[in-house]
Each structure stands twice: as C-alpha cells, then as structure tokens.
A and B are shown apart, each in its own frame.
Chain A
Amino acid sequence: SSVLTQPPSVSVAPGQTARISCGVNNIGSESVHWYQQKPGQAPVLVVYDDTDRPSGIPERFSGSNSGNTATLTISRVEAGDEADYYCQLWDSSSDQYVFGTGTKVTVL
C-alpha cells in the first residue's frame, strides 16, 4: 500500500504561513484529507477532498493537490494551530485507508 511521506516537523512564527507536504507517487489523482490533532485530543478533520473545509474550520486552512504532492497551508498562523497534522487517502489498489506519517507544527 501507499506510504504517505510528511516532514516530521514544521516551525513557523505567528502570523506567517505554514505549509505541510504529503507525498506519494501520483497523489494528485487521489482525494486527500487532512486532520489536526492537538495533544491529548482526538483528531479533527480540517480539509477534505483536497480543498474543502468542514463547517467551522477557519478559512486560514486550505489544501491543494497536484502531481506527487498534496499540501496543507495554514495562513496567518496562531498559537492555537500548534498540533500534529496528518494527511490521509483511500488507496484503491489495496482497499486500504492510509494515513501520512504526521507533521508536528510548532509556533515559535
């Protein structure tokens, strides 16, 4: 099955933009979803189907997906955005859901 590779960590200053990548061959042909997990809490869906946001998720969270890389972008980063972020997709070749390796976002 697919291995979705994410950078282990991303550091960003408040007010700046954080970009988190999720890579695998031809990921652009799949629908990618993104989750935020704060310490001690359950994950929360923040982007689905590459670019859409569930109700209640700020517009600062956006997604894109093309070629071999999907990206979650967090604009105007706030201290409350500090969390682990995971990408995820359905691998139709193996009938498995797959999560990325996870990225810890630190707000400086």
Chain B
Amino acid sequence: EVQLAESGGGLVKPGGSLRLSCAVSGFPFNNVWMSWVRQAPGKGLEWVGRIKSKTDGGTTDYAAPVKGRFTISRDDSKNTLYLQMNSLKTEDTALYYCTTVSLAFDIWGQGTMVTVSS
C-alpha cells in the first residue's frame, strides 16, 4: 500500500526554523518527483516547492513566497522527503502536505500542522 506520512510540525516563533519530514512507503521513492503543498486554515491549496528525482537531476523549484527561506531535499536511502523552513513568518501557518508528482499531484499524505506565532 502506498503511504506518505508527514511529521515534524508544531508551534514555532516568528523568525524560527522547523524541519518537516515525509516518510514514503509502497513505491520506488527514488524514481518519483515529490512536492510540498500547504493549506492555511480555512484557505485554499498553495504549492510550496518540488524536487525532481535524482535521475532527472534532483533539482528544486519553489513558490515565490518561500523562495530563499525554504529548502526541499530528499534521502532516497531512507525513502524520506524533507522541508527545511527558516525565517518563518506568521503567514506560513498552514497544514503542510507532501505529494507525489507523476500524472499530477497523485498521492497525498495527511499533512502536518505548522503554527507560527509569538
């Protein structure tokens, strides 16, 4: 069974940092592009960033609001995706989902909540 499980969310002060993880099982993680998508409370979906598979170059792209503050990485040996979030702002408060990127955003985890507040 394909599963994506996010972890690492929590409460952090503005200006702080947090690292999210997404553990993947049930499919060959190393061949798959991955993405992070977030959803602020009561709001719509917002793409955060994407990382390609290493065979496709392993490069990353980011949404404008997070570029320069967030970094996506992957450890194919651990079947795990990461999102390093620095210089957090109150507007980064959201539920963060990891997703596979194939046909579209095909498979989603259940999300991990990040709250940025003083």
Contacts and interface: CB of A to CB of B under 8 A. Distances in A.
A21 to B, nearest CB: 16
B105 A35 contact: yes
Contacts of A99: 37, 44-47
Contact of A96 (B45, B61, B108): B61
Please indicate which of the listed interface residues B45, B47, B110, B111 has the most CB atoms of chain A within 10 Å of its own CB.
B45
A54 B103 CA distance: 9
Given A97-B50, A102-B45, A48 B104 contact: yes
B98 to A, nearest CB: 10
A42 interface: yes
Interface string B15-54: 0000000000000000000010100000011110010000
B103 A97 contact: no
Contacts of B109: 42
Contact of A97 (B35, B108, B110): B35
Contacts of B47: 88, 96-99
Contacts of B104: 33, 45, 48-49, 88
Contacts of A42: 97, 108-111
A79 interface: no
A6 B50 CA distance: 24
Interface of A: 1, 33, 35, 37, 42-45, 48-49, 52, 54, 84, 86, 88, 95-102
6 contacts: A35-B105, A43-B105, A48-B106, A54-B106, A86-B45, A88-B105
